[in-house]
Amino acid sequence: MAAVIEFRTYTTKPDQRAKVIELLEDHFFDEMKGLGIKVLGCYPSLEDENTFVWLRAFPDAASHEQLTKELYGGKLWKEELEQPIVSRIASLSVSTVEDKTGLWDAWPHLAR
């Protein structure tokens, strides 16, 4: 079964992009990695100062559903990150694709 990759596009409220990226990178990405979710990182838009894209991957479709439930049902999200992140987001879109190219296996290990 192929891995699943999410392309997540966020548009923040004005002047909030840096703070949302900071919260994701400094807190939430480690939580994801601990669950077995691979995170490639945040990529600020060159065209819009309030938009950025980030990518994460799951081993397969079944783990995508289960790990997403664990992540957003967890203490870190519910008690610490949900309000400060969600309150800064104007809109978001998520495209979930099947990894037919083997990116899961080639996903780089990103040092902190």
Which domains are assigned to the chain? 4-101 (3.30.70.100)
> What is this structure's pTM?
0.88
Q: What is the pLDDT of residue 111?
A: 40
Please tell me the predicted confidence (pLDDT) of residue 41: 87
Query: What's the pLDDT tens digit per position in 16-72?
Result: 999 999 999 999 999 999 999 999 889 999 999 999 999 999 999 999 999 999 999
Q: What is the pLDDT of residue 112?
A: 41
| pLDDT interval class at 110 (50, 70, 90) | low
């998520």: which residue's tokens?
94
- The pLDDT value given to residue 53: 97
